[in-house]
Amino acid sequence: MAATIIDSRIFGDMFSDARMREVWSDENRTAKYLDIERALARVQGRLGIIPQEAADEIVKNCELSQIDWVQLKAKTEQIGYPIIAVVNQINAHCRDKLGEYCHWGATTQDITDTAAVLQMREGLALVEQDLNEIGDALASLARKYRDTPVIGRSNLQQATPITFGYKMASILAGIDRHRERLQQLKPRVLMGEFGGASGTLSSLEKGAMETQAALMQELGLAQPLISWHTVRDTIAEVGAFLGLVGGSLGKIAMDVKLMMQTEVAEVFEPYAPGRGSSSTMPQKRNPISCLYIHANISVARQHAAALMDAMVADHERSTGPWEIEWVSLPEIFCLMSGALKQTKFILKGLEVDGARMRANIAMTNGLVMSEAVMMGLGPYIGREYAHDLVYDLCREAIAKDRPLIEVLAVHPEITKHVTRAQLEAMCEPANHLGQAGVMVDRVLAARG
């Protein structure tokens, strides 16, 4: 019976993604052990390190369908690691004791680490696909709403107008940086391990480095310059990368749920009958995907920190820190897959209310245009004096509940320099969107 939220029959597909769970499943992990043992035998047979007859027999019996899962579980619990249990089963299926050449010169951690790297490669491919889809969805929103005014917010207060396209493009630029980071980290982290007991390959009298090179080529992984049994920066880097991605997804979720508030009502998660409803308040439309994103990325950050703890390993083979990765690596990938899936759902079906955005800009009776007025008056009366004057007039507009334009248009120090028409132009949000459109275009153009 599943006990974790990731494997739950009820919540599993809300907090994670089935494709990522498959990557980190017992079946796929064990299949990777077999892939490595198969590749090692093939390479060592070709190099003459083990008899070709033995290599052929081992290759033939590295099959997942032959694994006895009950026996594998029992043996792993007895030994503490699954690799010997897998090798025992391969050996048992081979004729004439040819299976004794299986795992020749390798150590448990070589197979375990290389399998984890193969799983990371599959997991990162899914992350990359999701990031591409999220980027495309953000680009579509940025393009569509390039010139749609929405109020910018600072410290949860209305600031100055921006555009919704600018808001989306700003987040998109971060997502595209993640895509770039992913390409940069792959050559570093997709690196296999084959070093033997203490990493020096002392177990092989000949062909040690040739075996290592050919094995990595066979698996499509980079060959390490030196063994990394207890130098775990590459694993931690993957965790840190996923933590960074989570921060960006959390930013999206935070803004969407704030903009879904009844008093704001500018954007909404995609609608489906009953989604986000309350058991007692029929009128409610709660954010749902945003909540799962927030929860997932918060826990994922803790796993990223745990992977950094795992870097503090003792000597050439560690006593405990390594096993932290066994817990944290699958979970950070699975949790992030859920956050990525929920983010795709939000962005691909995001409901945007441009009219409500414009109404919210107007709700302060023009006060949000005070910066534009200050800068417009600056050339005539000085910027600092204009700031203090507009500040006082804003307070007056609030106290008298009058539109800012009406207070400005009757002030003698202002009217002797500018006309009402000029003031109205200063108070028009569409006139003061700065370089928002230019910046949106730059982000979109950078994508190619």
Q: Which of 432-435's residues contact partners 24+ apart within 8 Å by CB, and which partners?
A: 432/160, 432/161, 432/369, 432/371, 432/372, 433/147, 433/149, 433/161, 433/162, 433/163, 433/166, 434/162
Q: Active-site positions?
A: 278, 317
Distance from first CA to last CA of the chain, Å, rounded? 48
Among 432, 59, 61, 347, smallest CA distance to 218 is for 59
What is the Cα–Cα distance from 139 to 290, expressed in whole angstroms?
A: 20
Helices (H), 190-262: 208-219, 233-259
Question: What distance in Å separates the CA atoms of residue 323 and residue 319, rounded to the nearest whole number?
Answer: 8
Q: Are 289 and 342 in contact (CB under 8 A)?
A: yes
Instruction: Please tell me the chain's helix, strand, coil percentages from 3-state DSSP, rounded to the nearest 5.
Output: 65, 5, 30
Beta bridge mates, 268: 351
Q: State the Cα–Cα distance between residues 37 and 60, nearest whole angstrom.
A: 11
- In angstroms, the CA 443 to CA 335 distance is 29
- Distance CA(153)–CA(155), nearest Å, equals 7
Alpha-carbon Rg for the chain, nearest whole angstrom, is: 30
User: Phi first, then psi: what are they for 55, rounded to 5°?
Assistant: -60, -45
Euclidean distance between CA atoms 12 and 21, whole angstroms = 9
CA 143 to chain centre: 23
In degrees to the nearest 10, what's the CA dihedral of 338, 340, 342, 345?
Answer: -140
Rounded to whole angstroms, how far apart are CA atoms 89 and 85? 6
Could you tell me which residues are beta bridge partners of residue 154? 157
Q: At what angle do helices 26-46 and 208-219 cross, to 10 degrees?
A: 130
Q: Side chain identity at 126, as an amino acid letter?
A: L
Nearest to 131 by CA among 83, 70, 174, 188: 174
CA 246, CA 304: separation in Å to the nearest integer? Answer: 11
d(CA 259, CA 164): 12
